[in-house]
């Protein structure tokens, strides 16, 4: 999967583009929106990956490192 950061930023800026808005404000808002999107994606992926690994009764082989 390829992720084009530049195109994604442009799309976010276009979504929030309003007349008479400061360009710095638009970029900041786009950055925050993109950060929220990335964080939501990470949480979704973590939840999907973690579902199979959650075992209430794990079995150990005895070959694990001991502290």
Residue 37 is assigned to a structural domain of this protein? yes
Tokens representing residue 25 in the block: 């404000």
Residue 20 is assigned to a structural domain of this protein? no
pLDDT value at 52 more than 70: no
Print the domain residue range for 41: 25-49
pLDDT value at 66 more than 70: no
Residue 36 is assigned to a structural domain of this protein? yes
Q: Please say whether the dihedral angle defined by the alpha carbons of residues 8, 6, 17 and 28, taken in this order, is positive or negative.
A: positive
pLDDT value at 34 more than 60: yes
- For the entire predicted model, the pTM comes to 0.47
Residue 64 is assigned to a structural domain of this protein? no
Across the range 48-53, mean pLDDT stands at 69
In Å, how far are 3, 38, 41, 67 from 47, measured between CA atoms? 21, 14, 10, 29
């Amino acid at each position: 999967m390829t992720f084009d950061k530049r195109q994604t930023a442009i799309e976010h800026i276009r979504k929030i583009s309003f007349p008479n808005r400061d360009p710095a404000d638009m970029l900041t808002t786009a950055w925050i929106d993109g950060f929220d999107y990335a964080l939501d994606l990470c949480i979704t992926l973590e939840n999907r990956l973690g579902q199979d690994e959650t075992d209430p009764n794990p079995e150990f082989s005895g070959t694990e490192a001991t502290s």
